[in-house]
Amino acid sequence: MSVWAIIMHENTISKRYNLIEKLGEGGMGAVYHAHDRLTGQAVALKLVNANPLHLHTNSHANNPSNDPRLSLAHEFQMMASLRHPHIISVLDYGFGRDGQPFFTMNMIEHAQTFLQAAHHQTLKTKIELTIQVLQALAYIHRRDILHRDLKPSNVLVKDGHTYVADFGLAQTLDDAQGGIAGTLAYMSPEVLMGNPPTQASDLFALGVMLYEILIGKHPFLKDTITETITAILSQDPDWSAL
């Protein structure tokens, strides 16, 4: 096997997707620009961070319903069923090398995150972007689906059009790995207190994002985790800059 063939093999997922370059990385995984060998199209492929020890443990053998791979597959199916102009469509999903979960999405090239796109924009544009995210949330909430990890990096904007990504996966992954779903800076008080997330939890996260684009800073983020949690649980945002 040639050196080039070895490189292509190492950068191929599920014998179908060639990874071209890493686009970004976060707590839930890394996103790559990939080439779909079946369709010839460019796609965004997300390799999900999931501890192989949790995904391959034999402890699920006697009770397959507890296998986190089944939960992930269910979440992937749910994500693939969503069709909305402000939601990034999931095209395919599966488990690649060493059982690592992945899913592919439509490629939104040259997009900005929610905060980047809103920077230096008019109040009218900021409200329009926020309404588009609200429309996406209303769509999933009518279907009894929660996002659970809404944050600026999960909302892409291109040409004034928003695209929300990464629905539902945070809860499944953190249930499997014994954590709390979401990103601390955008967690609602009830989630921090150990209660199940609700539609209000998603709206709280969007409210934090709206505050950021209106005021120019995060309403609760402090120097330490403890201080940030205390601020979310007990402090009111400072609205004096409005």
Active-site positions read 149
Helix (H), strand (E) counts: the chain: 9, 9
- Which of 162, 165, 143 is CA-nearest to residue 154? 165
- Which of 55, 51, 47 is CA-nearest to residue 25? 47
The answer for residues whose C-beta is within 8 angstroms of residue 70's C-beta and 6 or more apart is 64
Distances in Å between the alpha carbon of 12 and those of 26, 32, 43, 107, 211? Answer: 21, 11, 13, 18, 41
CB 92 within 8 A of CB 27: no
Question: Cα(138)–Cα(121) distance, rounded to whole angstroms?
Answer: 25
**Count of residues making up the chain:** 242
3-state secondary structure of 121: coil
Amino acid at 108: I
